[in-house]
Every structure is written in structure tokens, then in C-alpha cells.
């Protein structure tokens, strides 16, 4: 099975195909603004909800002891915040070809 990873540039090219009226430079700028806005909202621990797609939130992970996978040595992992994405119902149905 061949896996395809969509990069930011792939997204910009896809939008350029759909919105031929706008120059690629403007589309790239709009994508940058969108992603930067999302990052800033998550830094402020705000929830981002895109209806039909999903929600982005911040979750806190407790400090714990982990292991270095290469050496097996114990490593102290500090408390940290991680972004979390939960898919929306419509996206799940589309992915499973049920809609």
C-alpha cells in the first residue's frame, strides 16, 4: 500500500488548481495566515472547532519516567502540553465511505 502525505506545498498546489483566479503567492500567504492563526490559538490554549472536520485542543501530559528506545536508559519526561485532534462525525463517515 502506497501512502501519500500531503504537505503544505501540496495543499497550496491543490488550492491553486481549484482557485485559478488567484496567484499561487496569495494562496500560499492565506494558508500561512490560517496555520499561524491556529498555532497562536493553541498556544493560548483555545479550542479550534472546524465543523464537519474536527476539533483541535491542548492536552496536558503529566511528568513521568520514560525510556530511551535506543539505549533503554530511563529518561525523566517533564510535564508538557501537546496538541490533540479529534475528528468530527462527518469526516469519519467520509473516510469510511458511508456518506
CATH of the domain at 59: 4.10.520.10
Provide φ and ψ at 29, rounded to 5°.
-65, -40
Give the C-alpha distances (Å, rounded to integers) separating 3 from 6, 46, 97.
10, 32, 18
Q: Are residues 21 and 69 in the same domain?
A: no
8-52 confidence digits (pLDDT tens): 999 999 999 999 999 999 999 999 999 999 999 999 999 999 999
Q: What is the pTM of this model?
A: 0.79
Q: Are residues 39 and 52 in the same domain?
A: no
C-alpha dihedral (68, 42, 57, 50), degrees to nearest 10: -130
Band (pLDDT 50/70/90 cuts) for residue 57 is very high
Percent of all residues in the chain with a pLDDT value above 70, rounded to a whole number: 97
Q: Are residues 51 and 80 in the same domain?
A: yes
Q: 12, 9, 6: which is closest to 26 by C-alpha? A: 12
- Structurally, the chain folds into a number of domains equal to 2
Identify whether the C-beta of residue 63 lies closer than 8 Å to the C-beta of residue 29: no
Q: Are residues 85 and 54 in the same domain?
A: yes
Q: Are residues 39 and 59 in the same domain?
A: no
Provide φ and ψ at 4, rounded to 5°.
-110, 130
Mean pLDDT calculated for residue range 68-80: 94
Q: How far apart are the C-alpha atoms of 78 and 63, rounded to whole Å? A: 4
Q: Are residues 7 and 26 in the same domain?
A: yes
Amino acid at each position: 500500500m502506497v501512502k501519500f502525505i500531503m504537505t503544505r506545498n501540496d495543499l497550496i498546489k491543490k488550492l491553486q488548481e481549484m482557485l485559478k483566479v488567484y496567484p499561487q503567492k496569495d494562496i500560499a500567504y492565506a494558508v500561512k495566515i490560517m496555520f499561524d492563526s491556529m498555532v497562536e490559538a493553541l498556544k493560548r490554549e483555545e479550542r479550534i472547532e472546524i465543523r464537519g472536520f474536527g476539533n483541535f485542543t491542548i492536552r496536558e501530559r503529566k511528568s513521568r519516567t520514560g525510556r530511551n528506545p535506543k539505549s533503554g536508559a530511563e529518561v525523566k519526561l517533564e510535564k508538557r502540553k501537546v496538541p490533540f485532534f479529534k475528528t468530527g462525525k462527518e469526516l469519519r463517515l467520509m473516510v469510511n465511505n458511508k456518506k
